[in-house]
Structures are given as structure tokens and as C-alpha cells.
Amino acid sequence: MIVGLNYSAMHDSSVCVLDDAGRVVHAVSEERFSRVKQDGRFPRGALSRIALDEVEAIGVPYSREEPPPVASAEVFRDVLLARSEPLATNPCPEQWLRNLESLGRPLLFFDHHEMHAYAAFVLSGLSEALCVTSDYGAYCCPVSTGVFHVSANRVQRLAAAGHHELEPLAAMYTDVTALLGFTPTKHEGKVTGLAAHGIPADEVRDALWKIHEDVRRDRYRLYDWVGVLDEDVPPFLEPNRHLVAEYRARLPYGDADLARAAQDLLEEKMGRVLEWVAETYGTDLPLLLSGGLFANVRLNLHAARIGFRSLFVCPPMGDEGLAVGAARAAYEQVVGPVAPGGGRPLSMALGPTPGPVERVLRDLGVRYRRESPSVVRDTVVATLAAGGTVALVRGAQEFGPRALGRRSILASAQDPEINDRLNQKLRRTEFMPFAPLLRDVRFDEVFDLSDVRGDVSPCLPFMTICLPVRREVAARIPAVVHVDGTARPQVVREEDDPELYALLAAYEETTGAPALINTSFNIHDEPLVSDTTDAVSAFLVAELDLLVVEDCLVPLEHNREAAALVRATERAALAVGKARHRALNESFGRQIVDGPGRFDPHFVALENGEAP
């Protein structure tokens, strides 16, 4: 058995397992076991599902030794901010290496950005492609953005932005996330959503880029990591609130306009890089995008307009996806070459199943009934058609940040007020609308691809791109269309998920609507639910109308007493969480802030009065 393991002690720890033929058969993030969003600690929970004595080698997506600097291609010098002085590559901490060596298995180390590219390649199912990667940087990695040619058993770097001499483009967007009062490296999606409400203006963009330059040349940081390499404390980014306030005061513009400026700068600068890639290496090969920067679905639409033959965004585009690339690279070193993919992307249903459903439901004391698949489908459709909310837990959970119908909440897309109600239930403060879930036979009538050049179908099962919605359709499904007329779809083919496809067909037959809301089944700042216990807890906290775990139906109307008990327990836990947050701040010598608890998923929303 060959395993890939992403672990940086900062965020997104994950594990991937390959079968004897080198195929991905299991992949899961540590957060699903620890219940800490983006948990970057050593992935003990994820590793506990693997028989380590059967593991031949573990691929690690970080170089063990510090590499020499990489010279930047001219295009990157033109669009990125030059550092005020050269920056050394971050070395791998000794404790980090000791934790890996404690597994007692052979370790194979690989370049971070090459593994971003290889993860996208493996999951795409392609035999050859170009890939652009971009993130904030990593241990022993000499680049922050790379251009690669990838093929079976080979990754070749063609061009790069040298980390030692150029600031990562992701740093600008993360700085803005902090300046707008959100959590850096976690809430960049809120900036993307807010941007659609802003007005584009050169003045704001110029001012924001100047602030980015000043921030990056300041001797103090806007935020820094806390809890790194501490197994008892989940790592998190703590903003320097005084410095954030100081820089924000120098930008006399509204939040939405600043978010718009950040998005416009991102699309302009990465757009120039992608256009250079097209001019330099041609557009005959498919383009892959990988790395945390490409969680930005608006940027990915910009990429789709350039004209590459096809576009595929790595579904686990952040560092969790690195485990896939490292596993395949290790397999090729230890076992041998792997045949090229079959041309279609892999399913992301790669994680654990819900476990012993009925036993857990009985132990939790909730009232449920087990039904046939057809009765389950009919009940779900009836609940949705009546304006209710349905939480689904089906089979192996998805790998990556998106819920794709296996750990999802479904609701009507026809109700323009559902966004506020559902966000309140889930303790969320979101600017993006929910995503539309629809069958492939309805895609062309819903979306307008007249200004998209190239095939975007590889992205469609995974919610990795925004696309323009036809105006005449947008009015019918307002809950999934953003103010700029785009939506982030998940498109289902019958051969990929016949159960979900049949549910969508039955819903359309009942209501006439071509799409449903699909949003992730989790409370704000919690990971996606994993097993039956997680599902029941989140369902009762949010007071959704119906929970479906495999073939078991859990109606809220029969479990209101349990919901009241869970909510009372939740509130009692908040006081404990706040005290713990203060103690942690003291232990790190930080100023105690009378604010949200960093490690309590519901604390921010309840303290801000966003939930009843």
C-alpha cells in the first residue's frame, strides 16, 4: 500500500491511499475526524483508518532539504510585487520531520508545487496537460506560482514566480481578507462573494495595491500563525488587530468596493499570466488549475474565457489535495509507472461512510424510520416541494471543500428569501448565493457559455467555477444566482450518480424547477459532517426539516425535544469555549480579546446575535 500524507502543522492535513494498480481509492482530511475546520495538526485520525504495517512508503508533498532559489519568469516580474529584500525559503521544522518519522515507514519527499500539479493531473483522468499552480508558499518550496507540463509519470516545471524575490499573489487577497475583518486563509470566499456587490474603480484598485505594497514592506505582519506544531492546540491565524485597523483606516472606501478591487486585481494579474501561458505554450492541451488561489471561482471563469482546449480545476485545490499528488509520485518511485487516466475526472466520493447508521440513531435517542429508496426519494421531493430543507448523508463522503450531494443540504432554489433563513439556521454570514444542483440535460438551458472559450465540462461535477446564468432562467431560480448574474453549478450525470439524478428528475417533474440549492452540510466554521453522529448534531442544531442518512429518515417534527436539548447544550458549551480562548491567548502571550472563541464553531455567530 502506498500513502500520500499532507501535513504542514498549519492547515489542511490529509491522507490519500492508492490500490495496487496506483489508483486513488481513499482520501480524507483530518478535519473530518477532529471536527476542527482546516485542521493542520498531524493527521492521527485520518491515519487511524490505515494499517500502517501494510504501507510500503509514504509520499510527502514537501522537499526535505532547502532547494536553491528559482529565477522568476519575466511575466511574473511584471505582475507581482517585488520583495524589498530577498527572502530565504522557509525550512522544514525539526518537530515536523520527527512527527513524520514517528510513523516508522519509508518517507519520500517531493516539491510542493509539483505535487499540486500532479494532484490535478491524477484527478483529471487526462494523459497530458498544462497546469498552473498558485498559493501562498510552503516549507522548502522555491516558488509560489508555477507553470508545468504534466503527463503520466512526469511533471516538468516550465516557468515560475520565485518565492525569494516576488510576493505571492495570494498574499494580496489574504491581506484584504484581514483588512475586511474576516479570518485570513479561511474566509477568502467571503471576499469573492462581497466583490460582486462592489463598484469597479481604478482609484480603489491603485490604492489597494499601494496598501498591499506597504503591508508587505512593513516589519510587522497583519496576522501570524498560532499553535503551529502544538498537538493540543489547532493552529490558527491571529490578526494583529491594531495593525489591521491602522491600514484599513488608510482606505476610505466601502467594504464591497475594496473586495471588488481585490477581485479585479486578482483576475487582471493572474489573467495576464494565463494569457502568457497560452501565447507561449499554446492552447491545444487542456489547462489544469491547482493550489489554494484557484478556490476563487470567479478567477476560474476568467481562465475559461482565455481559450484553452478544456479547463479542469483540481476539486481539492488547496493543500489537502497534495496528498493525492504525493501518493502517486511515491507509487511511481516504489512500484513503477501508472497507465494514463481514462480521460474523465475521478469521483470525489473517496472518504469514509456514515458508519452503523441505525445503531447510532438508536443510541442518540432520535426518532427515525427506515424506508425503501423510492419512499426516501418521494419523501425528500415532497419536503423540498413544500419549501422544506433536507440534509443528505449518502455513502462515501466527498474529498475536498465542496459538498457534492453526499454531505449536502438541499432546498428550493425558487424562494428568494431562503438564503437568509438557511444562513441563519447554519450560523453563516455569507455573501455568495447557494450553488445550483442540476442534471446535465438541463445545463444548456440554464447557463450561457457564449463568452466561454473551451470545454468547461470537467469542472461541472465539482462546483469549481462560476458561469453566467441565462436571464430568463435566473428569475426562476433566484436563490442560486448572484447579483452579477453568475452561479457556481454542480451538474450531475446519470451514470455518475443515478440516485441523485433520479431525485432531481422527480423534483423537476413535481415542481417544474430545473435546479435545487446545494449547500454544504455543516454549521458555520465546522467541517462537513462525516458520520451519523455529526449529521444528527448539525441537523438538530440547525433545525432543518428532514435528515436522510442512507435509507433512514429523521424528521424534525418527531425530534423537537432532542433539538431543544442540543441547542441548550450548545449554549452551555460557549462559555467554556470563551474561557478556553482567553487561556490560550494568555499562554501565547497574546492580548486577551473579548471576542469570538477561535475553536468553537458556533461562537462567532451567536456572539454577534446572528442566531436565535
Q: What percent of the chain has pLDDT over 90?
A: 83
Render pLDDT for 60-98 as a digit per residue (tens, 0 to 9).
Answer: 999 999 999 999 999 999 999 999 888 888 889 999 999
pLDDT at 241 over 50: yes
Render pLDDT for 175-211 as a digit per residue (tens, 0 to 9).
Answer: 999 999 999 999 999 999 999 999 999 999 999 999 9
Buried b (16+ CB within 10 A) or exposed e, 558-587: ebeebbeebbeebeeebeebbeebeebbee
Q: What is the mean pLDDT of residues 129-137?
A: 97
Q: Taking every pair of C-alpha atoms in the chain, what is the biggest distance, in angstroms?
A: 66
The conformation of residue 92, written as its DSSP 8-state character, comes to P
Where are the alpha helices (H) located in 35-88, listed in sequence order?
44-47, 74-79
Give the pLDDT band of residue 388 (cuts 50, 70, 90): very high
Distance in angstroms between the alpha carbons of the first and the last residue of the chain: 49
Q: Crossing angle for the helix pair 202-217 and 255-281, nearest 10 degrees?
A: 80
- Supply the pLDDT for residue 167: 95
The whole-angstrom separation of Cα 1 and Cα 340 is 20
CA distances to 144, 294, 348, 500 from 116, rounded to whole Å, are 11, 11, 16, 30
Spatial CB neighbours of 444, under 8 Å, sequence gap ≥ 6: none
Task: Please tell me the least confidently modeled range out of 265-269, 377-381, 422-426.
Answer: 422-426
**Chosen CATH of 357-558 out of 3.40.50.620, 3.90.870.20, 3.40.50.300, 3.40.50.1980:** 3.90.870.20
The whole-angstrom separation of Cα 141 and Cα 147 is 14
- Supply the pLDDT for residue 573: 53
Q: Parallel, antiparallel, or unpaired: how do β-strands 2-6 and 57-60 relate? A: parallel
Give the pLDDT band of residue 265 (cuts 50, 70, 90): very high
- Supply the pLDDT for residue 88: 85
Burial of 182 (0-12, 13-18, 19+ CB in 10 A): buried
Q: What is the mean pLDDT of residues 163-172?
A: 95
Render pLDDT for 439-474 as a digit per residue (tens, 0 to 9).
Answer: 999 999 999 999 999 999 999 999 999 999 999 999
Give residue limits of the domains in the chain.
Answer: 357-558, 564-607
The overall pTM is greater than 0.85:
yes
The whole-angstrom separation of Cα 594 and Cα 301 is 40
Q: What percent of the chain has pLDDT over 70?
A: 93
- Supply the pLDDT for residue 539: 94
- Supply the pLDDT for residue 571: 55
